[in-house]
Structure 1
Amino acid sequence: MATSGPVPQNLRELLDRLENEPGKDRKVVETRRAINQIGLLLRKPLQNIPTEPVLLRPLIKAATPASLEITSARWSRLKSLLAFGLRRYGIDLQPARDVAGHSPVWKALASLAPDRASFIALSRFMSFCSREGISPDAVTEQVFSDFAEALQTRSLHQTPSAISRGAINSWNRAVATVSEWPQKVIPLERHSRFYSFAWDAFPESFGKDVEAYLAQCAVTDIWSEHSKKASRPKTIELRRRQLRQLASLLVLSGLAIEEVTSLAVLTKLDNARAALQQQEVRKDGVVPRSLAEHAWLLKTIARSWTKDPVSAEALGNLAARLNTASREMTERNTSRLRQFGVSTNVDALLNLPARAFAEAEGAAIVTPKIARRVAFALAVDLLTVMPLRINNLTGLEFDRHIIVLGRGKRQEMLVVIPAAEFKTGKTFEMRVPHSVVERINRFMERYHPVLAPQGAAQLFVSPKGGRRSTTAFSRAVSNFVKQETGLIMNAHLFRSLAGKLHLEEHPEDTETVRRLLGHERSETTHRYYVEARTTRHMQRYTDMIEQRRVSAAAAQPLKVRRKGAGK
């Protein structure tokens, strides 16, 4: 039952309204406690936490329940109670998926969904239509647009766009596969992050020029004026993708696609600027780090391929100006590293693998869910002791990369990655600590068979066999760390953490960090970790001041002047 009065603007006002309610409704009392707990979790005064869903949603997204030892089930309950309180006092909030809320005609249609995934994806949309009195035969593109708008402005769900797009995809799949489904296909706009045109949309001559250039990149040419080593296959694939992006940006900036006939068109200074500026427009005025990389690529092509020294020089100058972000660690990584300035957070991460393994050992039967949790724990284990790039981690194979020497207590394990597979072009070799060897052996014995087809060589294997997707696995590891410890972590941040932790123990030993992270030059290591060194020097200064204050207080005891003294 909603109470009359003005709509509360923040959680403090909402809590006051709930506390002033007569009676002792159990759910209201529980909601009061939930709001206080959410305030603690968000680390903000309640008066600074807005009730407007659009403003509240990112705060909830950034929350780390595990940091206060709040389980995922309890966190779901807290959010449910918060939604109850918001609706009770007039906040127009879209409910979560609610099967019971479907009208009879929508229930009948839901039973025809082609699969359970489609049913789940359409459930919120069906609830929305049921509440709005819209029948299945009346569904149009505008109805889906209204649904998307409601999710965006009146929902606490973290991915409103994904829900609305998923509903459209599932609707269209049902149209195609279920004859009784309303035969209305809903157009789905291409996601804004996908902007590149297909290669066959460009003139054939452009594609041929690109492939000729990339073929030349794959060859070592010591006799060239700009002597170079052959680019690795992954680098060539990256260059191919970057050139398609740049050509697409140039077209989006206004140049007819028919005019993009060669790389010379792309490296022409005005065109290069237009393409790069179009990316800035796409990013709402933010200059992404990738722009500098794109500018360097165009400069290289202008110098060595299209033989345009004037454009090459101008593009080199532009790239240097765009290269503002690459001089230091990104602000996001720097910010995330600060959470490890607290020793309990470091301890939580370092203890996570052993804890997860110990908890899994208590299970009588190993389910896929338990085995996946152990796999993520092992990934954290390896990333902690040898901060590999995620591509190398997901590619680890026994006998090829993981070499076992000896037996029993004398057994040693090495991770060896050939130069051709490592970013630096040098072979990586590192001994695995004994405690991690034990966990790898236990993983292979008890948990790996649950996840992998028989005979799979990969340490981290996909359900269908073969290596895991780097993007999906990286995301899964990040989610695992957040759920287990409350820490915001990505796979690549383990490399930065390795440098931070080592330099805290050995402030002057940047050479170990350089070799551990595979930096070509010491300057790179110094540049990325200058903030850690600066912070340490600042701490020395503040420690000195505190010591001097203690000495000063001992030498000159503090004399408190009484009020009115001296009159």
Structure 2
Amino acid sequence: MSSTSLPKDQPCGHRRWTANACKSAKWRRRWWRAAAPRRPSSLADLIEIETAKAGLDVLMQRTQEKRTSRNHGVAYMLLNVARHWVKADDRTIQTLTLFCKNLAPKKDGMTRKNKERLRQFDDPRQLNMLLDLPETMMREACATAEPTVLEARVAQLAIAVEILLMAPLRIGNIAALEIGRTLFLNGTKSGHIVIAGTEVKNDYDIEFPLPQVTLRMIDTYLKRFHPLLAPAGSTMLFPSLDGGHKRSTVLSHQLQQCIGRRCGIKMHAHLFRHLAGKIYLEAFPGAYGVIKILLGHKNIDTTIRTYCGTEHAAVYRRYDEFLEARRGVGRQKTPIAHNGRRVR
């Protein structure tokens, strides 16, 4: 593949042509010029160490050697291609993994945008609206005696919100839940989400027990609505038409649209994890060890760096309450007359 095969600097389809698009096209051409000596013509060629390094060097030049999430995402994409499509050798996998590690941007806690979105829940009415949403949606879906695919989709999103609230996993793990493999149910009596460490970000095995209210909702969904959405024999909790599971990006987008439309809340799927940290730490300030386990962090420093500050208001309130209770302890209050003089 040569630079001549790259898109030209022309508008295409519905995309508006802007100066940024021109700039992006210029850097794409630089990428391929850097890789041109090896003339990659397949995925196997693309993930060769020298070719991948040359392309990543171009991206680093573009960002003036700054480690950005975009550059890291490209490196991670190359690693996934090598691992899952090309089935590359161990040396290539290890080298590309090292590239990913070296390009990973430094994280200094929660992003400003996520902090702003969490402030929506300083209003208890907003929080209560979200907490009640799964039951409200499921009741709405069940109101029809003969449900259609439309009601089934409402019920499906109700289940997704309920699980994200009760078991704040990453959306990729939620979307891939499979009955009998990662989701184990014993009717409405007991149920667990069990995910092997090889399927999660931090390589830690995860096991979430599900409460009775969640189990009842899942039972209703599986009996009344799941058959309307899933091909025959599908064991995926969130099935797609091809028999696999719904893509995490699709499910995340549907959740974002649903919550925004019904609650007026700007919320993406990953924010459920941040919300779990916020509301628990507000109730129990400093309980970072609990949040570490709940969110599956490998290191408690990650938990503290991300969530330190979300409970500040609760800490200040508790301190004020303590100080008010402490005032006057150990000394007798002397009543004061209406003229302002102490009564003897």
TM-score normalised per structure 1? 0.46
Q: Distance in 2 between matches of 1:435 and 1:427?
A: 24
The aligned runs of 1:139-218 (5 Å cut-off) are 168=13, 192=21, 197=28, 202-203=35-36, 205=38, 207=40, 211-213=47-49
Letter in 1 for 2:180: D
Q: Distance in 1 between matches of 2:238 and 2:56?
A: 42
Shift of 1:449: 1.1
Query: SS where residue 449 of structure 1 aligns?
Result: helix
CA contact 1:353–1:378 (8 Å) conserved in 2 = yes
CA contact 1:481–1:487 (8 Å) conserved in 2 = yes
User: Counterpart of 1:381?
Assistant: 162
Say if 1:374 and 1:558 are closer, same or farther in 2 by CA, change over 3 A. farther
Say if 1:402 and 1:205 are closer, same or farther in 2 by CA, change over 3 A. same
Q: Unaligned 5+ residue runs, structure 1?
A: 1-144, 146-164, 170-186, 214-260, 281-286, 307-311, 560-567
1:393 aligns with 2:174: yes
Say if 1:289 and 1:188 are closer, same or farther in 2 by CA, change over 3 A. closer
Shift of 1:264: 5.7
1:463 aligns with 2:241: yes
Shift of 1:349: 1.0
Shift of 1:498: 0.8
Say if 1:200 and 1:454 are closer, same or farther in 2 by CA, change over 3 A. farther
User: Counterpart of 1:424?
Assistant: 202
Q: Deviations over 1:448-486 (max 9, x none)?
A: 111111111111112343211211210110111111111
Q: Distance in 2 between matches of 1:557 and 1:458?
A: 75
Say if 1:296 and 1:359 are closer, same or farther in 2 by CA, change over 3 A. closer
Q: Distance in 2 between matches of 1:188 and 1:267?
A: 27
Query: SS where residue 47 of structure 2 aligns?
Result: helix
Shift of 1:371: 1.0
Higher relative contact order by CA 8 Å / sep ≥ 6: 1 or 2?
Answer: 2
1:534 aligns with 2:312: yes
Q: Deviations over 1:247-279 (max 9, x none)?
A: xxxxxxxxxxxxxx74564676xx66522249x
Query: SS where residue 63 of structure 2 aligns?
Result: helix
Bigger-Rg structure (1/2): 1
Q: Distance in 2 between matches of 1:555 and 1:205?
A: 91
Q: Distance in 2 between matches of 1:426 and 1:437?
A: 24
Q: Deviations over 1:474-510 (max 9, x none)?
A: 0110111111111111100000111112212222322
Letter in 2 for 1:205: R
Query: SS where residue 539 of structure 1 aligns?
Result: helix
Q: Deviations over 1:191-236 (max 9, x none)?
A: 94975849987426275676344xxxxxxxxxxxxxxxxxxxxxxx
Letter in 2 for 1:441: D
User: Counterpart of 1:344?
Assistant: 125
Say if 1:458 and 1:542 are closer, same or farther in 2 by CA, change over 3 A. same
CA contact 1:412–1:434 (8 Å) conserved in 2 = yes
The aligned runs of 1:13-412 (5 Å cut-off) are 168=13, 192=21, 197=28, 202-203=35-36, 205=38, 207=40, 211-213=47-49, 262=51, 265=54, 273-277=60-64, 289-290=69-70, 323=106, 326-405=107-186, 411-412=189-190
Q: Percent identity?
A: 28
Query: SS where residue 429 of structure 1 aligns?
Result: strand
Shift of 1:343: 1.6
Letter in 1 for 2:247: S
Q: Deviations over 1:97-143 (max 9, x none)?
A: xxxxxxxxxxxxxxxxxxxxxxxxxxxxxxxxxxxxxxxxxxxxxxx
Q: Distance in 2 between matches of 1:272 and 1:421?
A: 29
The one of 223, 233, 242 equivalent to 1:445 is 223
Shift of 1:519: 0.6
Q: Please report the RMSD computed on the Cα atoms of aligned residues, expressed in angstroms.
A: 4.2
Query: SS where residue 531 of structure 1 aligns?
Result: coil
CA contact 1:206–1:263 (8 Å) conserved in 2 = no
CA contact 1:415–1:430 (8 Å) conserved in 2 = yes
CA contact 2:171–2:270 (8 Å) conserved in 1 = yes
Say if 1:536 and 1:293 are closer, same or farther in 2 by CA, change over 3 A. farther
Q: Distance in 1 between matches of 2:206 and 2:236?
A: 18
Query: SS where residue 110 of structure 2 aligns?
Result: coil
Q: Distance in 1 between matches of 2:72 and 2:182?
A: 34
The one of 228, 236, 251 equivalent to 1:473 is 251
Q: Deviations over 1:333-371 (max 9, x none)?
A: 111111111222221111111111112221122121111
Q: Distance in 1 between matches of 2:47 and 2:191?
A: 42
TM-score normalised per structure 2? 0.72
User: Counterpart of 1:95?
Assistant: none
Letter in 2 for 1:436: T
Query: SS where residue 353 of structure 1 aligns?
Result: helix
CA contact 2:56–2:75 (8 Å) conserved in 1 = no
Q: Distance in 2 between matches of 1:428 and 1:346?
A: 26
Say if 1:508 and 1:204 are closer, same or farther in 2 by CA, change over 3 A. same
User: Counterpart of 1:128?
Assistant: none
1:519 aligns with 2:300: no
Letter in 2 for 1:418: A
Q: Deviations over 1:72-93 (max 9, x none)?
A: xxxxxxxxxxxxxxxxxxxxxx
User: Counterpart of 2:275?
Assistant: 497
